[in-house]
Amino acid sequence: MVPGRSDQADRVSGSGRVGATGRPYTGVFPIAPTTFDDTGDLDLESQKRVIDFMVDAGVGGICILANYSEQFALTDDERERQMTVVLDHVAGRVPVVVTTSHFSSRVAAERSRRAQEAGAAMVMLMPPYHGATQRAEEAGILEFFHTVATAIDVPILIQDAPVSGVALSVPYLVRLAAEIPHVRYFKIEVPGAAAKLRELIRLGGDTIAGPWDGEEGITLIPDLDAGATGTMPSALIPDLLRQVVDHYRAGRREHAVAHFERSLPLINYENKQCGLRAAKALLREGGIIASDLVRHPLPPLHPATHAGLLELARRLDPLILRWARA
């Protein structure tokens, strides 16, 4: 249980707020990368192995079609094919969050409706933006999420990240939760995430079912201290981050900190040197996927960067390097 905070699982209920068990989703919900073959086409067999690896890592759930899934490099047909294959393959073993972001309210609502029909437990969206200057005003953002919410019955997770360039104040996020029943989860990955999470929980109270962090979990301990109940990192070390969260939620903060500090050099290297290419590199190294290709114009990892990533990963012996050989 998070210190200083009552257990939301016993007090949050209502439309769009909780999972199928009647309790809020918590824990580690890593982002599954989209896998390609060496020609750049979807590799759906590798995709299934990624999903099986993540389930075996003991994750709380899985997120697909996020930015770390290269969603911005996929066609609409590829999105649909990947979503269908993944949700069919998961077959209810863990909840799946489907990212349905789009600038258009109509398109975002339709994507969300399709995700729910395919079996998504929740949808994640960023506020509408296009490029560096095209953004909706607060009234438009509110209407955007209203439009999505009217199309679905599953919860909505709002992604608050610098890439959108949209400033989402805590009072405004609380307003969204208060006025839109399905908006109950928030992935906070902006500078000062812990402070924002703490204020979100203070002002939002019972309307906030899931205060989560992201950004590869690089600030996981201060975010857990602030009251975060979930984290959405990459697929790099879900097994190790699960140990951090499990220890923390069991009241063993000192063990959580020790596990986190051991993993932090690798997390930092991923965050600062590799980005979304890190998980693919280790998935390929571990024999889980056939190719670590990222779609052009993203470049592959420099050989020296790749070597540094493997050096740090091998010190930790994570499941990603052992799973396919077990």
Please choose, from the candidates 4, 3, 1, 10, the residue with its C-alpha nearest in 3D space to the C-alpha of residue 209.
Answer: 10
Query: What is the distance between the alpha carbons of residues 315 and 150, in angstroms, rounded to a whole number?
Result: 48
Annotated active-site residue in 187, 196, 272, 280: 187
Six token digits for residue 211: 């205060």
- Helix, strand or coil, per DSSP, at residue 97: strand
Letter string b/e over residues 215-226, b meaning 16 or more CB atoms within 10 A of that residue's CB: bbbbbbbebbbb
CB 251 within 8 A of CB 268: no
d(CA 130, CA 135): 6
Task: Give the position of tokens 């396919």.
Answer: 324
One-letter amino acid identity for 206?
D
What does the buried/exposed string (b/e) look like for 150-159 if buried means 16 or more CB atoms within 10 Å of the residue's CB? ebbebbbbbb
**Nearest 10 degrees: CA dihedral of 244, 49, 72, 112?**
-80
Structure tokens at 145: 């999420």
Could you give the 3-state DSSP secondary structure of residue 9?
helix
What's the rounded Cα separation, in Å, for the pair 23 and 18?
5
Q: Find residue 213's DSSP bridge partners.
A: 188, 231
Q: Is 187 a catalytic residue?
A: yes
Q: Which residue has the tokens 């969206």?
A: 125
Q: Is 13 helix (H, G, I), strand (E, B) or coil?
A: coil
Q: How far is residue 302 from each of residues 178, 274, 278, measured CA to CA in Å?
A: 47, 9, 11
Q: Is the dihedral of CA 43, 64, 222, 256 positive or negative?
A: negative
Annotated active-site positions, please? 187
